[in-house]
Amino acid sequence: MGMKEKELKFRVWWIPQVPMEAFRVTVGSPKEAKNVLKILADYDTFQFENNIKPDYSNMGGLEVFEEGEWVEWYDSKCEDINGTEEIA
């Protein structure tokens, strides 16, 4: 993680059922965000497969705090957290 990344603030946003307000949680890095998003998606799948919720339409992403506002995070190739291959 570069020095600039250590200074940035990141948060995951997750909508478990579109359309509704997003749930947000602070994370330490894009790598951590990728893990959190996978866990949230796996949890929604688990609930669906075990008849806890009948259906769902979820979505999520990563925001970064820049110049006083939260904006969507993009990698060096302009891919968002869901499309990036830069994070293993």
pLDDT at 20 over 60: yes
- Give this prediction's pTM: 0.84
Give the strands of the sheet with 9-15, arranged side by side.
Answer: 23-27, 9-15, 59-66, 69-72
Residues 30-84 pLDDT 10s? 999 999 999 999 999 999 999 998 888 999 999 999 999 999 999 999 999 988 8
pLDDT at 69: 95
Per-residue pLDDT at 88: 66
Pairing of strands 23-27, 59-66: unpaired
Asked whether the predicted pLDDT for residue 15 surpasses 70, the reply is yes
Residue 52 to residue 56: CA distance in whole angstroms: 11
